[in-house]
Amino acid sequence: FLGNLTKYGQGILNAVSWHHYYFSGKTATVAEFMDPTVLDQLIQQISTYQSSVTRHVPGTPLWLTETASAYDGGAPKISDTYVAGFLWADELGIAAAMKVELVCKQALLAGAYRLLSLDLKPVPVYWLSLLHKQLVGEKVLAVENGLVPGRTTRIYSHCTGTPKIKLIITFSDYSLILNNGSTYNQTYNHSQTS
């Protein structure tokens, strides 16, 4: 379908969009939310879309118009907890590094993957989404070996909207580094840690 859509969509497509979920909410485990093999699924999926777009409709943006951790309404008591933030942050980092222009989180109020609880209180991934929107700018910085499959240390780097602040987030070390200086010259090679 994708090949035909992009092949015959020349001149009429504004964007190519798709939905992405990692696993079934009915059988999901906490371990899957941090499993590098599971997290790497998105890299392969985006690569497939990029290849078709490049071949048939070059320059057409990619949009991830519906995504969450698990299909079937999310994973109860997992998708709306802190651990889901690792998968969500990784998804945002991969999408940015691979030049996906739009990512839409499913859903505001429905399912276990919702951003707000039934009593309208924000769940952890809401706060992560807000932090991401407030701090992370459009410029994505290259990270050596940043998209190598199977990596247990996952680093994504972006400039913020404020020109003199650099933001680096690492997820296996659970650290957030803000550099308020004008330069950050240290090269981080994640393959040296694991």
Mean pLDDT of 116-128: 93
Q: Which residue has the tokens 């969450």?
A: 68
Q: Which of 102-106, 133-137, 149-153, 173-177 has the lowest mean pLDDT?
A: 173-177
pLDDT for 12 equals 84
**143-180 confidence digits (pLDDT tens):** 888 899 999 888 888 887 665 544 444 444 444 444 44
Q: Is 174 left (phi over 0), alpha (psi -120 to 50) or beta?
A: left
Range name among 23-27, 155-159, 188-192 with the lowest pLDDT average: 188-192
The encoded tokens of residue 123 equal: 């769940």
pLDDT at 60: 92
Of 17-21, 34-38, 187-191, least confident by mean pLDDT is 187-191
- The pTM is what? 0.81
CB proximity list for 125: less than 8 A, separation 6 or greater:
80, 84, 85, 88, 105, 113, 115
Report whether pLDDT(133) > 70: yes
Q: What is the CA radius of gyration of the chain?
A: 17
pLDDT top residue among 173 and 134: 134
